[in-house]
Amino acid sequence: MIRKLLRHVFRRKDTPLPGKAAVIPLGQHGIRREDISAAAGRVCETLQKAGHKCYVVGGAVRDLIAGITPKDYDVATDATPEQVRALFRRARIIGRRFQIVHVMFGPETIEVSTFRAAHDADTLKDEHGRVLRDNVWGNIVDDAARRDFTVNALYYDPSSQTVIDYHHGVADLKQKTLRMIGDPPARFREDPVRMLRAIRLSAKLGLILDPAVRTPIRTMAELIENVPSARVFDEMLKLLFSGHAAECVKRLREEGLHHGLLPLLDVILDQPMGEKFVMLALASTDARVRAGKPTSPGFLFATLLWHEVLANWEARKTKGELAIPALYEAMDEVLDIQGEKLAITRRIAGDIKEIWSLQPRFDKLAGKSPYRLLEQPRFRAGYDFVLLRAASGEVPETLAEWWTEFQDADSERRAAMLVPESGPKKRRRTRSRKTSEAPTEPGTGTT
C-alpha cells in the first residue's frame, strides 16, 4: 500500500505516458461533436478548461462507431472525484469498490470516472481472484489496459473530434471480433460478470467471441456464483433489456453460462412448450425495446419464472393442497429460491406476484368475475401474459380471443358473452319461525 501511495503522490501529470495509441481522425471513425449528448460535451469542456484531460469513453464511443444510439454516456478524466465534484453544481461521489462521480444535467446523468491504475500485488482480492476494492488512480494508458474488451477501450475527445485507441478496438469492431485486453482467465477471475458482458456485447453488436475469450468461459462459469446477487441482477437486466435478449439467451446456452442464473435457463429451455413461451416473451420485449416503447422488468421476469411456478403449483395440488393457497405458496418458494442468485427488488417481486395471481381469474368467464377483473390495476399486464400463454399453446386461443373481445365490448355485448354458471345457484338460508304468523317477506320490513 505504501508503494501505491508513493506512486500516486509523485506521479506528474506531464510525465510522458508509456505505450502508443492510434489517434483516429473524424474521417475514419465518423463521430462528430454534435453526435454526443450535450451533457457529456459540457462535462468534457468544463474539465478540459480546468486543465484536466477528459474524454467520452467506452460503450458510447463503441456504439456511435457501430451506428447505434448510446443509451448513456461515461466520461474518463485524470481529475480525482473530489476535483470533479468541485467543478459542478449537481454532482455526487458514489461507489465503494471504485469511486465515481455522477454529474446531473436535467434528466441526464453523466458518469465520470478517474483514470484507474493497473492492478498489482497490493490489489485487494478474494480467494477466487475477484477484485474487492480499487480506488487507486492512474493515467490513460493504465486506464485503457484496465478496460475489459478492446472495443470498450476507446476514448473520444470532443475538442479535437479524434478517437484515441490503445488496443486496436476500432479494428476489432470493424472485423466483428470481441477480444479481451490482457489474459482472459485472469480478467474473468477479477470480475466474473465479464463473462455475461461478453455474451451481451457479442449479441448486441453481432460479434464473434475471440477463441481466447470463449474457451475459458465453460470452465470458469461457476465463478459467477461468487458475485454479489445485486450485481448479477443488474447485469441480467442489461442483458434482457438490450433489445437482443432472445439472441443473448441463445448464446448463454451455447457457452454454458445458463446453469444457475435462472430456472428458465436450467430447465425451461429443454421443454418445447416452455421454450416457446420464453422465446415469445423475449422476442416481444426485444421488439418493444427497439421501438422505444416502455418495458417492465416485472412482466419479463414473471414470464421467465412462470413455468417454475407452474411445476411447483401442480406438485402442491397433487398433494391435496387447495388451488389458490397452493399458488401463493408456489410463488413465494420460487421467488425465495431465485433471490439467492438474483437480488430481485421488492417492487419488481410485487409486480411479478400480481401478474401470476391474476392468471386463475382469467379462467372465470361467468357472473361478476370478469367485470371485477377488468377493474384490477394490473389487468393489462395479466391480459398480455394470457396472450403469451395462448400463443405458446399453454391455454386455448379461444380464451385469449374471449378476453380481447370482452374488454372492448359494450355492456350489452359483455352480458351476452358471459358463460352460464354451472350448477344450481346457492340460496341464502332464512331462519324459520315457530309461529302461526306468516313469515316476514325479505326486504319489506313488515309482518
User: 142, 148, 286, 351: which is the annotated catalytic residue?
Assistant: 148
Catalytic annotation on 148?
yes
User: 74, 134, 210, 351: which is the annotated catalytic residue?
Assistant: 74
Catalytic annotation on 142?
no
Residue 366 sits at the vertex; the CA angle it makes with 380 and 422, to the nearest 5 degrees, is: 150
Burial class (CB in 10 A: 0-12, 13-18, 19+), 332: middle
Catalytic annotation on 183?
no
Cα separation of 169 and 126, whole Å?
30
Catalytic machinery residues: 72, 74, 148
